[in-house]
Structure 1
Amino acid sequence: MRITEAYLHVLDANSDVKLLSERHMHIDLEIEDYASKHIEGFFEHLDIATNEIDAIQKMNPLSDDFKETTLNVAELFFDVMKQCEEIKPCDLMCLKFEREGATLIGFLKLNFRTSFAHAVELEDNLIVNKIIRQVTTLPYKTQKVEEGFLVDLTHRQVFIKDKTVTVDGRKTKYISEYVLGVGHTLTPKRKIDLIAKTAQKVIEKYDDKPLIATAKIKQMITSHLDESGGVNMESIVASCFDTEVAKDAYLSELNDKGIDPDSITINETQKKKLKRTQKIKTASGVEIILPFEYVSRSENLEIVNHPDGSVSIQLKNLGELL
């Protein structure tokens, strides 16, 4: 990745402070590494929503004047920050950069965080070392950026790390609505969760072994994503639901929720972030974490319901102890 232009704007609506940079920022290797780590998160994590560049209504990503674009975006952020105290003060890092043959612009909202540092003071000609609280330090490069977006000008795509806040008494994804003016789209993580949870709801109604059946569909979803980066819903439904009634109920639930499984696409790095285990919790406080693949096989797990209301879980085919 190579940064070609950068600006930093300070936005703190709580204090009514808006300091917009009038010149570009010098980028040394250390700062470029810091920015690069945060930018790569937009391509590595499953909680990033995507959209088409043509859907953007609020700002002009195709402007030749990048400085003017950053000022426009900073104003859009500040306007919505004034309407919602939930949106944290920040430094808005605005970047134009090249990555893997593509030209992109990025807007990283680096929220201020509280940290502590030492301070040396002189009292009555004596040195006094103290601990002071700092509230304007930025996220470490190992931490996630909480909010921001990238625009891929070459492939005409937008990547959004958004946050749900309340504006005028209404819950909204504020970057999508107030900064970009695009419709809200679900992240891959949210789509996968909804597909699995909807399946679980239908399975609990129609299957006599819901734990095993739920694990089976979760395992198949993960397997499809591993193999192709997408989900073949027709194959999953045919394999995981025994009756036409259950199949129709599941597809109807997905349709009612507005979920299009075919729209899920993830890359090789994102595949490593997929959830692969299922947690079983009991009223006694016992928790067991098992791989989807193990639980999905009925011969591996036996659950016995006793007359007194207690439950026994027998695990089989565990292999040798390590």
Structure 2
Amino acid sequence: MQIKEAYLHVLDVISDVKLLSERPTEIDFEIEDYVEKHVGVFFDNLDISTMDYTPNSKVTLEGHVFKEVSLQVADLFYDAMTYSEDIKPCDLMCIHFEREDRDYYGFLKLNFRTSFAHAVELQENLIVNKIIRQVTTLPYKSQKVEEGFLIDLTENKVLVKDKQVTIDGYKSRYITEKVLCLNGVMTTKRKIDLITKTAEKVIEKYDDQPLVKTAKLRKMVTEHLDESGSLDMQNIVSECFDTEVSKDAYLKELDEKGVNPDSLKMNEGQTKKLKRTQRIKTASGVEIILPFEYVSRSENLNIVNNSDGSVSIELKNLGELL
């Protein structure tokens, strides 16, 4: 990653502060490393929405140099902050960078982090040490950026890490709807959750081994994404649903929820973050975590509903204890 130009704007509606930088920020090696860590979130995480950039967006690029775009975006963020107390004060890091032969504009919302420090006072010639609250420090390099977006200038795509806030009594994904003014799309994580949880609901209704079949579907989804970064839903549905009725019911529910599995695309960094285990909880407080690979084989797991209403779980083929 190579940073070509950067501006840092201070946005704090609570203190009525909007300080917009008039000159580029100097980027040394440590700062570049800090920014690169946060930019990586947009390429590797599952909670990112990818949508087409269109001229209808409030962020206009044509005829503007990067400094002008950064000032425009800072104003849009500040305006959004005035409508909701849920949007935290921040430093808005605006960067023009190149990554893997693609050109990007990036806008990282570095929310102020509350921390504490000591302060020394003199009272009647006596030293008094106090603890004071500070709210102007930025996120650690190891923390994830909570909000922001990148514009892929090469592909005309926008990668958004958004947050739902309350504006005028309504829930709103404020970056997508208020800052960018684009039509929002589901995050990768949301699509996977709906694909698997909808399957769990339908399988529970139509199958006598719902836990095994659900684990099999989750396993197949993970394997497909590992191998190709996409899903072959025809193959998954054929393997995990035994009747035409259950297949139709599943695909109908996905359609009603607006999920298009064919649009799901993932890169290698994202597939590493896929969930690969199934959690079983009981009313007695017992919790078991098992790999999809294990649960998806019916010979490994036996669940018995006892006459007294309790459930017995038998695990087989566990291998040797470590």
1:25 partner letter:
T
The aligned residue for residue 111 of structure 1 is 111
Describe the SS at the equivalent of 1:76: helix
Aligned mates of 1:191, 1:286 — CA distance in 2:
30
Q: Which consecutive residues of structure 1, in runs of 5 or more, have no partner in the other structure?
A: none
2:252 partner letter:
S
Aligned mates of 1:61, 1:313 — CA distance in 2:
59
1:44 is the counterpart of 2:60: no
Aligned mates of 1:63, 1:296 — CA distance in 2:
56
The aligned residue for residue 220 of structure 1 is 220
The aligned residue for residue 79 of structure 1 is 79
Describe the SS at the equivalent of 1:26: coil
2:296 partner letter:
S
How many residue pairs align between the two structures?
A: 322
User: Contact (CA 8 Å) 1:112, 1:137: kept in 2 or not?
Assistant: yes
RMSD: 1.3
1:61 is the counterpart of 2:61: yes
Describe the SS at the equivalent of 1:15: coil
Aligned mates of 2:102, 2:10 — CA distance in 1:
28
User: Contact (CA 8 Å) 1:231, 1:264: kept in 2 or not?
Assistant: yes
The aligned residue for residue 281 of structure 2 is 281
How far did 1:118 drift? 2.5
How far did 1:320 drift? 0.8
How far did 1:123 drift? 4.0
Aligned mates of 1:72, 1:124 — CA distance in 2:
51
1:100-249 equivalences in 2 (<5 Å)? 100-249=100-249
Calculate percent identity across the aligned residue pairs.
68
How far did 1:122 drift? 3.8
Aligned mates of 2:56, 2:288 — CA distance in 1:
46
The aligned residue for residue 17 of structure 2 is 17
Q: Normalised by the size of structure 1, how large is the TM-score?
A: 0.97
Aligned mates of 2:131, 2:29 — CA distance in 1:
31
User: Contact (CA 8 Å) 1:61, 1:151: kept in 2 or not?
Assistant: no
Aligned mates of 1:6, 1:317 — CA distance in 2:
57
Aligned mates of 1:3, 1:62 — CA distance in 2:
21
Aligned mates of 1:92, 1:63 — CA distance in 2:
22
User: Contact (CA 8 Å) 1:57, 1:180: kept in 2 or not?
Assistant: yes
Q: Normalised by the size of structure 2, how large is the TM-score?
A: 0.97
Describe the SS at the equivalent of 2:148: strand
How far did 1:142 drift? 0.3
The aligned residue for residue 32 of structure 1 is 32
Aligned mates of 1:62, 1:112 — CA distance in 2:
32
1:298 partner letter:
S
User: Contact (CA 8 Å) 1:63, 1:69: kept in 2 or not?
Assistant: no
